[in-house]
């Protein structure tokens, strides 16, 4: 398993059905890769729920195990992150470096 790959760690997190679907989708994003909020919403079968996907992303209480830092805006900019965009950028850069 590569550093930053937490996809196979079992988690017991609870939220709404939509939040849990979003969190499962976030865990499918490989280290070093990103997806947009719109891509996440579409992947869980709710393409019109982009803002709700963002809210579910923000409700994630285990930020590294459910890698919400891998979700960016559709225009390619980072978007928000509970621990600040500098930390988000650092996590993404570290993953990209270790994924090579």
DSSP states of 27-49: HTSPTT--EEHHHHHHHTT-TT-
pLDDT tens across the length of the chain (100 residues): 455 566 677 787 899 999 999 999 999 999 989 999 999 999 999 999 999 999 999 999 998 789 999 999 999 999 989 899 999 999 999 999 986 6
- Domains annotated for the chain, with CATH where assigned, are 17-98 (1.10.10.10)
68 is catalytic: yes
Candidates 77, 97, 1; CA nearest to 34 is: 77
Q: Alpha-carbon distance 70 to 37, whole Å?
A: 10
- One of 49, 68, 71, 72 is an active-site residue; which one? 68
């Amino acid at each position: 398993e590569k550093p930053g790959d937490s996809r196979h760690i079992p988690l017991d997190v609870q939220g709404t059905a939509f939040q849990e679907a979003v969190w499962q989708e976030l865990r499918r994003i490989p280290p070093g890769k990103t997806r947009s909020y719109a891509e996440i919403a579409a992947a869980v079968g709710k393409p019109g729920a982009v803002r709700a996907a963002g809210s579910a992303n923000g409700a994630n209480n285990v930020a590294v195990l459910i890698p919400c830092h891998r979700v960016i805006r559709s225009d390619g900019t980072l978007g928000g992150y509970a621990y600040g965009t500098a930390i988000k950028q650092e996590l993404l850069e570290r993953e990209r470096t270790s994924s090579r």
